[in-house]
Chains A and B, each alone.
Chain A
Amino acid sequence: QSALTQPPSASGSPGQSVTISCTGTSSDVGGYNYVSWYQQRPGKAPKLMIYEVSYRPSGVPDRFSGSKSGNTASLTVSGLQAEDEADYYCSSYVGSNNLLFGGGTKLTVL
């Protein structure tokens, strides 16, 4: 089963908003509200930023938000800050007790 599709890169200037997409199919992203997003800084472990499409764990800034439309989920980072520069991965339940990650998006703060 192929990974979920994410753009390899995204960028924005400090203070701007940027949206990263995660595209799957009706059997995974579109079929379940079980999309999560992870932030991974260089040399560090991933950190959960959004779960179940749009919920933020405690401690995650409200500048991070998640949504879904059809087979595509999105992570929006508002008011970009230098510390947001990282790789971002989506994941989704894909049926048959299986879970897939997206290929990752490198977010650059210009």
Chain B
Amino acid sequence: QVQLQESGPGLVKPSETLSLTCAVSGYSINSGYYWGWIRQPPGKGLEWIGSIYHSGNIYYNPSLKSRVTISVDTSKNQFSLKLSSVTAADTAVFYCARVRYSYGYPIWFDPWGQGTLVTVSS
């Protein structure tokens, strides 16, 4: 059974870089899926951030591309997110998920991690 678990600081100061890691268990990160990040501001909807393949192929949401870096560590079966120059508008629950791609298109997310709230505040 695939399980994902996010970890990282729950509080980040404005203008700093948010860093999160997603540990994958019960499934090898090398086994043919992409792995992605999605965020949800409190009381609001979902926003896809980006996805990465074990080979390092990466897709980013164009609206966040300039501030996002996603990386993968196959030896630890985990992947990571960095979001730079954060503001209060970046306060959200961040989820990691396994991502299905078809012909280079992201098409669904399953399963999801439980999510971690990151607050941007001084």
Contacts and interface: CB of A to CB of B under 8 A. Distances in A.
A32 B107 CA distance: 10
B106 A101 contact: no
B79 interface: no
A102 B20 CA distance: 25
Residues of A in contact with B, size category: 20 to 34
Q: Which of B62, B108, B112, B113 has the most CB of A within 10 A?
A: B108
Contacts of B110: 47-48, 51, 57
Contacts of B63: 1
B46 A97 contact: no
Interface string B82-122: 00000000000001000010101111111111110000000
Interface in A29-76: 32, 34, 36, 38, 44-48, 51-52, 57
Nearest to A55: B108
Interface residues of B, number: 23
A45 B105 contact: no
B48 A101 contact: yes
Interface string B12-24: 0000000000000
A47 B112 contact: yes
B59 interface: yes
Given A47-B112, A96-B62, 20 more contacts: A1-B63, A34-B107, A36-B109, A38-B109, A45-B112, A45-B113, A45-B114, A45-B115, A46-B46, A51-B107, A89-B45, A91-B108, A91-B109, A93-B105, A97-B106, A99-B105, A100-B48, A101-B47, A101-B48, A103-B45
5 contacts: A34-B102, A46-B109, A52-B108, A97-B106, A101-B45
Interface of B: 45-48, 59, 61-63, 95, 100, 102, 104-115
